[in-house]
Amino acid sequence: MGSESEGRAYSLTEIFAVKFVLADVLIIAALLLAGPLYALAITALFVVSTFLVWSLMKRSEGGGDESATTASEGTNAERDPVTQLQERYAAGELSDAEFEAKLERLIESNERADAAGIDTEELELERSR
């Protein structure tokens, strides 16, 4: 009898609910058995670990497959406009003429921002002449 353990994927809400129930039990036990300073230290550890679990869960939800077809809109908003444009072109959403026109507009807007002294972060474009 082979037991195949197919792990159930728990939602972030379920993980936090279990974590808070366990934290409450341990904090009450620490208050009763060890004193308020230990309970306060345990509470601080649970708060820090909660933020750690939350950030790791968010990172694992957003990570994984980096292909353009599985990229979410939230991830697209974090990337620069040129990368988004390239992905749309690669996916066949834009024709050659549309891609070149949009890229030209991005280059022009970047040059205007540079001329005005506005920092465009990582977006460094130059015209190829």
Q: Is residue 1 part of a domain?
A: no
pLDDT at res. 116: 78
pLDDT at res. 63: 55
**Minimum mean pLDDT range among 35-49, 61-75, 92-106:** 61-75
Instruction: Provide the residue type at 94 as one letter.
Output: L
Residues spanned by the domain of 86 = 73-115
pLDDT at res. 66: 46
Q: Is residue 52 part of a domain?
A: yes
Mean pLDDT of 10-34: 84
pLDDT at res. 124: 52
The kind and range of the H/E element at 51 are: helix 36-62
pTM, 2 dp: 0.37
Look up tokens 């009898």; give the residue. 1
Q: Is residue 6 part of a domain?
A: no
Domain ends where: 62, 81, 103? 62
User: Are both 20 and 55 inside the same structural domain?
Assistant: yes
Q: How many domains does one find in the chain? A: 2
User: Are both 53 and 92 inside the same structural domain?
Assistant: no
Q: Is residue 68 part of a domain?
A: no
